[in-house]
Structure 1
């Protein structure tokens, strides 16, 4: 048999004491303390109070023993059981009646050895030994423990114990600790708990507790069965009505004839014309309220529940304006560009009009970097349709109850965010913005993304059941529009039910128009400048801000810079500096300080081993400089710049491709074994990964080996296979935007990306010379003429 010492937090401290000494002993009448639990007891007998005083000499440790007869005043050592508890005295509070209120925390189960009464000090004492619960067979112990945990879960459900208690019990792991965690919550007498502790083995302890749990469950089933039979036999409706009328009359007498509050609520509910299911639920709640005193906490809970139903705009629908021309005009007046997004919205409105507002199309999800106007676009959609607007922020939401609501058994419970959004919108068919849907999380409290499926799925949302409301609410008429920064981080269950519409960001000419038509007037209004001609932003000054003070896909930072200039000018005006301000690039530096960015972000030409690549990030496109340096060594490949696994694999492939082609430049491939190759991507603190840097890595290595520089205003993006084929990439809009913004003149892409070039804005097509190639050798022949000449000469010699 395997013996195990019960696992308790204070056990090591207890064992460290000298167990050969006698410990003071406190007899208990009607309470039993278990290891790890705390219990308050009332101590009034002199012999017990003396024992408590003596415990101070034993680090506030005291023995506890349950006397079999709780009504017996004078107890002898022979009356006490030989299994007790070593406990820690947490606090002692004297009461006016002479009794003490004592808080005890159980430490460990012990066997009492020779308990006796010390006459000279008038209290009981005993030697102890730690009680070991041997396990007869480990496999049997696990089976008994598993059965106990299963029964406790059922018992907790019947007794409405919180989920935290069940989770704490299941987390104990060790058998004895699990049983001790269960025991305080099982509603049995102290004598029954004492019987469990007196078991000789761990298996016996488990079987005893399991039997108590099973008996409690059986008793509850019997009570429930009897209750059902009684309800069927009685004319419950007449009885409830008779009793409720009596209570109502008594309450009216107590309140000096004031009108019954419950009846006022009943009248308000009737005016809302709820569905049959909701009305039945509220009638049940009214019946409960009539049986409660208004001052009771349960009455306040029921009143709050009914108030939430009254606050919901049930049956209230706003008239949707489905005039396509009006919607288009509204969108164009408030948002520059975004033609594809506007076209998709107009298609949605057209289908909505054709189907008479019964459209069950996928949820639209606007994906784009920060500052491109996703949230304001959704507001404009709501205004265009004539619908109310509500916003549900999902960033950082990890608790499923935030979506489905809290059950009413919890203190401070309330409905989920979607029911609250209906209350805020004051109608049942608003436009609800699901903001930052890609930033949802999950933990032990549930998976909120999966909980949202019932809200967003058009087949399920006509009867969405919030845990707090407990009945179905119709969300089918709500227009949901989501926003996200990155499509990759949207939870998979939600991505399947949404149609992604991408907002790539703004080109420089678009930012210029947005600043003149939207941002400058807005800044003047926010700062209280009534004369719009007193501060004039010309094109050159705005371009200076764009080049030297902002680096973004959207216009959020641009808006901050414009407002900063306006604020500073307002301050100067109030301090006595009057006159009209015509902003120039020189004045921009005066108001905004030293430029934060260089106007040309490309490196100086003439450096071999340096190639301009392009990258996509969740906040827009970015240029990616790749640098290669060759050093004498042993053929090691060193990669720096915080590169991810994909980029590291791309570098390995690039090196293999370059080694295969070195002979074309009269370079011995064996020199690679004598050369250390260092590849670096600047901004080493920023993580970089993705499959679109293969071409740039290959050309950077080849430029370093051949000592042939490549112009920095030529950019490359795309992956390359081991056979040299160029593979397509995504995010071309964002990358082209970054290329134009950085001063790139020429862009090389894989041949399979030709279809994406068509969708690029006209400005990108005019500002960039875009070429597509199928194989890496096509690029090598253009950028490295030596290889081209050698290949032609080899071809002629072969023909001869």
Structure 2
């Protein structure tokens, strides 16, 4: 290395300029254009360095290779797009020691690099081998014409020869950079020979692939020739051309089917394309399948609505007991639909716990309207193509589930149930929930486009119904397009009516039991409801009734002397074993440091007995029970409320300084969250620190503030039903929830006592002894 010099710098993205070589480059970045301008106005020399990553727009010194080349500008040609085409001649290799940004232009301090001394014999040998390798490369690639080849090999200087040969190779820029980095001329020549050998190996692989493809093409031509011969033989034998007959059949159906003009035009174009295709080609199968889908869809077929409100009411009451509000809303919808055929219907979403009858309610709507019914389960759907379909270019492409369901329905106005829409997912294959927006939006679903059909489908006459256990996981834009109707859990009396009027007759019929052979008493049903099921719906109840009937049938079959079996509560315990559940899980009537709370889950209401333990420590609050962030905050707020009002309750201050308080919500494996357990936590803490027993037969729900105010909560109906199922008859709830008491079934409401509170002091007076 010799003297240091300072030059303007142009970073290169994907080209390496070698010494003694003349190379065109394109300059477009403002800093590079400025560097070129400075070089043109001085000695026309600048420094060129390859970027380590071509995608970097504003490289720093670390982003450039140290070794570059000092070059001379020979010619500038401005281009219409603002770039400049520059003809560059490499002068000498150089190493960048420092890079500065000055006046929006890169300047670099560089040291010119001299080649290392090498043995003359080694250099002669390297030159001979390099020329021989290059001759082989030129002969096999045909990329170097004879005149250029002769000019290159005439060079006696090994360094110049190496750079000239390297500049004619088709390798990556980083490989060129590795050649430029080498100081020893013999090692540099060996590196270029290594690159030549790599190129020759790649050429051999490429030739093998081309020969293989050529052989396959020859096989395809052979198969085509044999197919043509086979068709000619069949024609001579007088056999009908099945392929032509199929095409004629499709053409006839396209003419006969009443479909939109745009769809008919598309089908005729595809049919015309099909006529000129060889029968055995893969493309023929794709077009044929597409036409089969086009002609199988019910384009303008609609079932006539038979809307008889009295009949609809009879159907709903026959199929479902209770559910008065949902039934009322459905009858309102049918009434308006009868009054106005052109009304754009809203999308109904039934939300409620499993087993309350959401899916069967949708089927009853279809029966009441006289429409076809189709159901599509959304649980676990993660691929957008399941909604919109696959593009025909994919192997095994099919339309989306919506189009498939329309074909199955056989009409353009079915009742379409999207079941479990809250279980829909999304991943790298797309977002199915977003794809559903177009189908469910009344303003745009008249032009729904499936990727497979590539034509518009009118879904505006479809009556869409969705079901969900919870609204939390439904995306907001999708939820905005739906009218939510909540189906809460059933009371014990409602479950008894459902079992007596629906479940028992259904199971007896399915088990083919003759009338009078088996009877299930009300006592047996109440035993099942109270001690063998813990649910808001009746699905588990139905399974237990089926189990009772199976065991009774077995007894009838094994003992022919028995003609009739009456299943009561005793036989129920004998068949099903010990009771599985206690009434609500309230373990004590009165206990210190325990309070009974009410919780809402997507499966209905539930009871929580929150426990608090006090032990010597330093005044810390420990919270356990798999709680969410909101519930943890409620615990801290409850602790602060109790601490701030401790003197009013007669609790000495040292209880909070010298003791740790551990608050636990049982069933630690079950995630729990929400603010409505605030007053329950405060009651349990106060009970523990004041050493007063709390009445565990009083259930409570309400959010608490730092000032001790009790705020409104949601899901009151489900929570009250859970308390009623547990045998609790007194419930404390916020005074702001008084309006929600009307939603509770009258028989439950009359059987319960509600304490409406606005402050924690009122809760304390009611619960603590």
Question: TM-score, normalising length from structure 2?
Answer: 0.71
Looking at structure 2, the residues matched to 449 and 318 of structure 1 have their Cα atoms a distance apart, in angstroms, of 29
1:278 matched to 2:284: no
Among candidates 332, 347, 351, match of residue 332 of structure 2: 347
Paired residue for 2:413?
Answer: 429
Judging changes above 3 Å, is the alpha-carbon distance between structure 1 residues 292 and 632 closer, same or farther for their aligned structure 2 residues?
Answer: same
Looking at structure 2, the residues matched to 256 and 666 of structure 1 have their Cα atoms a distance apart, in angstroms, of 105
Shift of 1:275: 1.1
Q: Report if aligned partners of 1:600, 1:742 keep a CA contact under 8 Å in 2.
A: yes
Q: Secondary structure at the match of 1:316?
A: coil
Paired residue for 1:501?
Answer: 485
Shift of 1:780: 2.2
Looking at structure 2, the residues matched to 504 and 651 of structure 1 have their Cα atoms a distance apart, in angstroms, of 28
Among candidates 224, 230, 254, match of residue 269 of structure 1: 254
Q: Report if aligned partners of 2:298, 2:411 keep a CA contact under 8 Å in 1.
A: yes
Instruction: Within 5 Å, give how 1:780-795 maps onto structure 2.
Output: 780-784=764-768
Paired residue for 2:435?
Answer: 451
1:288 matched to 2:273: yes
Gaps of 5+ in 2: 1-48, 55-133, 154-161, 180-188, 208-230
Q: Does 389-398 or 597-606 show the bigger shift? A: 597-606
Paired residue for 2:129?
Answer: none
Judging changes above 3 Å, is the alpha-carbon distance between structure 1 residues 297 and 510 closer, same or farther for their aligned structure 2 residues?
Answer: same
Among candidates 548, 561, 574, match of residue 544 of structure 2: 561
Shift of 1:2: 7.0
Looking at structure 2, the residues matched to 601 and 526 of structure 1 have their Cα atoms a distance apart, in angstroms, of 35
Looking at structure 2, the residues matched to 388 and 614 of structure 1 have their Cα atoms a distance apart, in angstroms, of 42
Among candidates 301, 304, 319, match of residue 316 of structure 1: 301
Instruction: Within 5 Å, give how 1:475-490 maps onto structure 2.
Output: 475-490=459-474
Paired residue for 2:38?
Answer: none
Per-residue CA deviation, residues 748-778 of structure 1 (Å, 9 max, x unaligned), is 1101001100121112212210121111122
Q: Secondary structure at the match of 2:350?
A: strand
Q: Secondary structure at the match of 1:494?
A: helix
Looking at structure 2, the residues matched to 285 and 534 of structure 1 have their Cα atoms a distance apart, in angstroms, of 64
Q: Report if aligned partners of 1:83, 1:109 keep a CA contact under 8 Å in 2.
A: no
Q: Does 412-421 or 760-769 show the bigger shift? A: 760-769
Instruction: Within 5 Å, give how 1:369-768 maps onto structure 2.
Output: 369-529=353-513, 531-577=514-560, 578-599=562-583, 601-768=585-752
Q: Does 251-260 or 531-540 show the bigger shift? A: 251-260
Paired residue for 2:322?
Answer: 337
* Count of residues paired in the alignment: 583
Q: Secondary structure at the match of 1:452?
A: helix
Judging changes above 3 Å, is the alpha-carbon distance between structure 1 residues 83 and 766 closer, same or farther for their aligned structure 2 residues?
Answer: farther
Per-residue CA deviation, residues 285-313 of structure 1 (Å, 9 max, x unaligned), is 01111111122111111110010011111
Shift of 1:314: 1.7
Looking at structure 2, the residues matched to 363 and 130 of structure 1 have their Cα atoms a distance apart, in angstroms, of 72
1:327 matched to 2:327: no
Looking at structure 2, the residues matched to 586 and 395 of structure 1 have their Cα atoms a distance apart, in angstroms, of 40
Q: Report if aligned partners of 1:110, 1:128 keep a CA contact under 8 Å in 2.
A: no
Q: Does 592-601 or 771-780 show the bigger shift? A: 592-601
Looking at structure 1, the residues matched to 746 and 615 of structure 2 have their Cα atoms a distance apart, in angstroms, of 45
Instruction: Within 5 Å, give how 1:45-84 maps onto structure 2.
Output: 68-69=139-140
Judging changes above 3 Å, is the alpha-carbon distance between structure 1 residues 68 and 533 closer, same or farther for their aligned structure 2 residues?
Answer: farther
Paired residue for 1:222?
Answer: none
Judging changes above 3 Å, is the alpha-carbon distance between structure 1 residues 410 and 83 closer, same or farther for their aligned structure 2 residues?
Answer: farther
Looking at structure 2, the residues matched to 190 and 685 of structure 1 have their Cα atoms a distance apart, in angstroms, of 60
Q: Report if aligned partners of 1:86, 1:109 keep a CA contact under 8 Å in 2.
A: no
Q: Secondary structure at the match of 1:427?
A: coil
Judging changes above 3 Å, is the alpha-carbon distance between structure 1 residues 112 and 554 closer, same or farther for their aligned structure 2 residues?
Answer: closer
Q: Secondary structure at the match of 1:380?
A: helix
Q: Secondary structure at the match of 2:534?
A: coil
Judging changes above 3 Å, is the alpha-carbon distance between structure 1 residues 601 and 3 closer, same or farther for their aligned structure 2 residues?
Answer: same
Shift of 1:681: 0.8
Instruction: Within 5 Å, give how 1:38-187 maps onto structure 2.
Output: 68-69=139-140
Q: Secondary structure at the match of 2:754?
A: strand
Q: Secondary structure at the match of 1:533?
A: coil
Q: Report if aligned partners of 1:109, 1:131 keep a CA contact under 8 Å in 2.
A: no
Per-residue CA deviation, residues 69-88 of structure 1 (Å, 9 max, x unaligned), is 4589xx99x9997699999x
Q: Does 463-472 or 572-581 show the bigger shift? A: 572-581
Judging changes above 3 Å, is the alpha-carbon distance between structure 1 residues 518 and 109 closer, same or farther for their aligned structure 2 residues?
Answer: farther
Looking at structure 2, the residues matched to 466 and 596 of structure 1 have their Cα atoms a distance apart, in angstroms, of 50
Instruction: Within 5 Å, give how 1:192-231 maps onto structure 2.
Output: none
Judging changes above 3 Å, is the alpha-carbon distance between structure 1 residues 676 and 320 closer, same or farther for their aligned structure 2 residues?
Answer: same
Judging changes above 3 Å, is the alpha-carbon distance between structure 1 residues 614 and 271 closer, same or farther for their aligned structure 2 residues?
Answer: same
Judging changes above 3 Å, is the alpha-carbon distance between structure 1 residues 624 and 257 closer, same or farther for their aligned structure 2 residues?
Answer: closer
Q: Secondary structure at the match of 1:365?
A: strand
Q: Report if aligned partners of 2:353, 2:603 keep a CA contact under 8 Å in 1.
A: yes
Shift of 1:503: 0.5
Shift of 1:783: 3.4
Shift of 1:594: 2.0
Judging changes above 3 Å, is the alpha-carbon distance between structure 1 residues 572 and 532 closer, same or farther for their aligned structure 2 residues?
Answer: same
Looking at structure 2, the residues matched to 690 and 667 of structure 1 have their Cα atoms a distance apart, in angstroms, of 28
Judging changes above 3 Å, is the alpha-carbon distance between structure 1 residues 544 and 83 closer, same or farther for their aligned structure 2 residues?
Answer: farther
Q: Secondary structure at the match of 1:628?
A: strand
Q: Report if aligned partners of 2:590, 2:697 keep a CA contact under 8 Å in 1.
A: no
Judging changes above 3 Å, is the alpha-carbon distance between structure 1 residues 758 and 292 closer, same or farther for their aligned structure 2 residues?
Answer: same
Structure index of larger Rg:
2
Looking at structure 2, the residues matched to 468 and 5 of structure 1 have their Cα atoms a distance apart, in angstroms, of 40
Q: Report if aligned partners of 1:389, 1:432 keep a CA contact under 8 Å in 2.
A: yes
Q: Report if aligned partners of 1:369, 1:504 keep a CA contact under 8 Å in 2.
A: yes
Looking at structure 1, the residues matched to 491 and 384 of structure 2 have their Cα atoms a distance apart, in angstroms, of 40
Shift of 1:587: 1.0
Judging changes above 3 Å, is the alpha-carbon distance between structure 1 residues 766 and 3 closer, same or farther for their aligned structure 2 residues?
Answer: same
Question: TM-score, normalising length from structure 1?
Answer: 0.68
Per-residue CA deviation, residues 695-739 of structure 1 (Å, 9 max, x unaligned), is 111111111122111221101001011111110010111101100
Q: Secondary structure at the match of 2:598?
A: strand
Paired residue for 1:136?
Answer: none
Per-residue CA deviation, residues 248-292 of structure 1 (Å, 9 max, x unaligned), is x99996885645432221111111121110011011101111111
Judging changes above 3 Å, is the alpha-carbon distance between structure 1 residues 447 and 662 closer, same or farther for their aligned structure 2 residues?
Answer: same
Q: Secondary structure at the match of 1:269?
A: helix
Q: Report if aligned partners of 2:584, 2:607 keep a CA contact under 8 Å in 1.
A: no
